[in-house]
Structure 1
Amino acid sequence: MLLDNETHTQLVTLRQDLHRHPEISGHEQATSDRIATFLENHAPDELHRNLGGYGVAAVYKGKVPGPGVLIRCELDALPIEELNTAPYRSTIAGKGHLCGHDGHMTMVAGLAALLQRSRPAIGRVILLFQPAEETGAGAKAVIEDPAFAALKPDYAFALHNLPGMPLHHVGLKSGPFNCASQGLWITLTGKTSHASNPEDGQSPALAMCDLIKAFTLLPQDHDFKGEFALVTIVHARLGEEAFGIAPGFAKLMVTLRSETDQIMQLLQEKSRHLIEQISKDHQLETAFGYDDIFAASTNDPDASEQLLQVFEAEEIKHHPMTSPMRWSEDFGQFGQICKSAMFTLGSGLSQPQLHNPDFDFPDELIETGCRIFHRVIRNILGPSN
């Protein structure tokens, strides 16, 4: 075992404490404080606070200059009511660590305990606890923070636990790893009237129906040339809940998803054309915009090979991936400034899916995550003794 019993117990306690006190994207102040306190007790050479919001980074330096290796995890929880009955279940109504970010943080915190005892031989390790991953805003905000310039790494690594994969098994592929996604909202404004005289108003009902049909069929457009593109209708609202009112307003929300940023750009162009054409056909005022913007996450070949060597050395069962994960990750932003790679770590075949109200990160994964990250650090930067 890489972690001694006392350290492992401390980390389980930390994980369950983080689980009790979830905070959603952009509001992770208390979580940031808990992490900073833990890191301060493990003697980093540098501790940076408030990166891109409430981000925290601990730096452990080798004896001589060399590459920088960043290990990234996420601070934020989800606005979902937890249904677990564990004694450490969420104490905050309507919020829960139901994606496993509490476990990811704990693994990276475990590296601080290991690095306190044995620094790398060369270079430096940056342990980054990133805010606002769930909204896609956090990684970009951290990278654009002026204070991050001094921390810019040569390599960046991250993981995400994956229900449905056997416990402790890993998944990895070079190239596209997480899909790009964007949330598109559209409003259609006509004119309200009495339901007995709908001809006196201008209802957006038919326009909304046309949009729903058009977006449903959009991925079949021949311009995508067989590339993966997905449009999901996630919300539709027409008028008010009143039998006496013919509607004058509608709102539609869809999620656009693709394996590459190039196909995402084409999805945006096609979407804009649909909105403009349909609103013109029905003579309605239209507005639209984007939220929760995630670039595609692409694994660098060299960084991916570093992870493959670790899996082999640690005798961890590896499942080669043939296609990217459909869900999105803002970790892809780090791939624009350094060699980066993310992998999945199985959290059990019977584990509830991510973002489910009964999800709970398995504490037995803490050791596995620490082993993988610690080995990749040693492989690149060397042991100090």
Structure 2
Amino acid sequence: MTLSAIELEKMITFRRELHQHPELSGQESMTAERIAMTLRDVGVDEVHENIGGYGVVGVIKGGRTGATVGLRADFDALPLEEANQFSHRSCLSNVMHACGHDGHVAMLMAAAARLVKQRSAQGTVVLIFQPAEEIGTGAEAMLAEGLQERFALDAIFGLHNWPGVDAGHFVIHDVPHMASSDDFEVTFHSSGGHGAMPHLTTDPIVAASLFTTAIQHIVSRNIDPQDIAVISLGSLQSGHASNIIPAAARLTGTARCFKPELRKRLEVRINDVAEGVAKTTGCDVTLDYVPSTPAVANDIVCAQLCRDVVVQRWGHEQLVEHPVSMGADDMGAFLSHIPGAYVWIGNGSGPQTPKLHQPDYDFNDAILSTGSDFLASVAMQFLDNHQ
């Protein structure tokens, strides 16, 4: 099922055109139109648009009715200025495909072309092109608009490119391997005052400083050392002058872990710390805690199917180990409702390999054929196993 030289060149061109014309989460209208048009050109049986925003779904029917397997790719870009100078660099300022979603789409589109040509004797393949992954809302939005009810998926699979792993090698976890991700915003409020007379007011900067250090004790003192969790603050804004105590200090952060019960524990303790600091400093406090994506946890049977496909197609040596990641992906939302597996494919290793979410990143076109072969093979194997 390897791509011919002509097919590969066509998919590389398609991928680079997507890279050149990125769109941010929730704004992916032109990308969605391009995906839908290409699916029709490939020859899928059905194309459904505008599911959960700009989500696109293609359907490929086998010879007879049977099981239904989903293959998923994401297609939004990031608010980042591209540093690359190659010909297919982003044509937009401060928008680029810095996570390889253009490559994910191209791999799935190439798999779609194969599955149209080599249709399963039984069953249906559903191709899910998902928007808004980077802000953690796309998968839930597609589910909320009836994706599962409309297409009745028995399983779902996907690929994410992974810098730091040799190109074309696969990492397949049985344990949760991408973290849940929740965001929070804490604001300490004061009446404000003069820096020379702090006793006449309360100080939100002092409160924010105490909160900053206190929340770091949650993981070290409230969480079992055998569990994995992280709390990080990404911003702190307050005041404009050296001699004025401001009226507010605002902090934003993220909390990440792998277990649902631990996820709730982090939320409770962050709230406790915010309220405790407010009481200690005399400030008022508001906390906005926003649950985002659940952890990515593979179904063990589906993960084994993926390993079997890799071994059959390329041999045991293409399967490698790699630590889990505190990075998040809303594929976890799909996997919370539907059994499946999310697999990492190496994008290249070595000290000069660009990392995800960096201005010099680019998807490695050398893995496009392998990735599409894997997706098509997994779909066929799943349908063969469920006749």
2:284 maps to what in 1?
A: 285
CA contact (8 A) 1:21 1:91 kept: yes
Whole-angstrom distance in 2 between the partners of 1:339 and 1:292:
22
Letter in 2 for 1:361: F
Contact residue 310 and residue 376 of structure 1 kept, 8 A:
yes
Moved more, 192-201 or 167-176: 192-201
Checking the alignment, whether the CA contact within 8 Å between 2:163 and 2:348 is kept in structure 1 is yes
Aligned to 1:220: 220
**Post-superposition shift, 1:6?**
1.8
Q: Which runs of 5+ in 2 are unaligned?
A: none
The number of residues matched between the two structures is 381
Q: Which amino acid aligns with 2:109?
A: A
CA RMSD of aligned residues (A): 1.6
Q: Verify the 8 A CA contact 2:203 2:281 in the aligned structure 1.
A: no
Deviation at 1:264, TM superposition (A): 0.8
Of stretches 86-95 and 335-344 in structure 1, the one that deviates more from structure 2 is 335-344
**Aligned counterpart, 2:254:** 255
The aligned residue for residue 85 of structure 2 is 85
Q: Distance in 1 between matches of 2:359 and 2:291?
A: 21
Q: Is the 8 A contact 2:71 2:125 kept in 1?
A: yes
Aligned 1:312-331 pairs, distance under 5 A: 312-316=311-315, 317-321=318-322, 323-331=323-331
Q: Is the 8 A contact 1:216 1:233 kept in 2?
A: no
Instruction: Give how far 1:43 is off.
Output: 1.7
Deviation at 1:118, TM superposition (A): 2.0
Which residue is 1:372 aligned to?
374
SS at match of 1:378: helix
| Stretches of structure 1 lacking an aligned partner (at least 5 in a row) | none
Q: Distance in 2 between matches of 1:209 and 1:76?
A: 35
1: CA distance between counterparts of 2:373 and 2:346? Answer: 15
Aligned partner of 1:339 in structure 2 is: 339
Tell me, in whole angstroms, the C-alpha distance in 1 between the residues paired with 2:289 and 2:86.
Answer: 38
1:326 is paired with a residue whose SS is coil
| C-alpha separation in 1, matches of 2:146 and 2:303 | 28
Q: CA deviation at 1:372?
A: 0.6
Question: Matches of 1:379 and 1:245 in 2, distance apart?
Answer: 67
3-state SS, counterpart of residue 358 of structure 2? coil
In the alignment, what sits opposite 2:383? 381
Structure 1 position 63, deviation (Å): 1.5
Q: Partner of 1:131 in structure 2? A: 131
| Percent of paired sites with the same residue | 31
TM-score, normalization by structure 2: 0.95
**TM-score (structure 1 length as normaliser):** 0.95
How far did residue 292 of structure 1 move? 6.5
Structure 1: 4+ residue segments shifted above 4 A:
none
Q: 1:361 aligns with which of 344, 355, 363?
A: 363
Secondary structure of 1:159's aligned partner:
strand
Equivalence for 1:275:
274
Q: CA deviation at 1:285?
A: 1.6
Q: Distance in 1 between matches of 2:349 and 2:257?
A: 27
* Aligned residues of 2:267 and 2:289 also touching (Cα < 8 A): no
Q: Tell me how far 1:262 sits from its aligned partner.
A: 1.4
Counterparts in 2 of 1:338 and 1:146: CA distance versus 1, 3 Å: closer
SS of 1:98's equivalent in the other structure is: coil
Deviation at 1:276, TM superposition (A): 1.2
- After superposition, the Cα gap between the structure-2 partners of 1:87 and 1:223, relative to the gap in structure 1 and judged at 3 Å, is closer
C-alpha distance after superposition, 1:38-96 (max 9, x if no partner):
11111211111001100001000011111111110001000011100110000010000
Q: Is the 8 A contact 1:74 1:105 kept in 2?
A: yes
Per the alignment, residue 308 of structure 2 pairs with: 309
Contact persistence 1:259–1:324 (CA under 8 A)? no
Instruction: State the shift of 1:226 in Å.
Output: 2.8
3-state secondary structure, aligned to 1:347: strand
Q: Is the 8 A contact 1:51 1:148 kept in 2?
A: no
Which residue does 1:231 correspond to in 2?
A: 231
Residue 197 of structure 1: how far off its partner (Å): 3.3
The alignment status of 1:32 with 2:18, answered yes or no, reads no
Give yes or no for contact 1:136–1:292 (8 Å, CA) kept in 2.
no
Residue 172 of structure 2 is matched in structure 1 by: 172
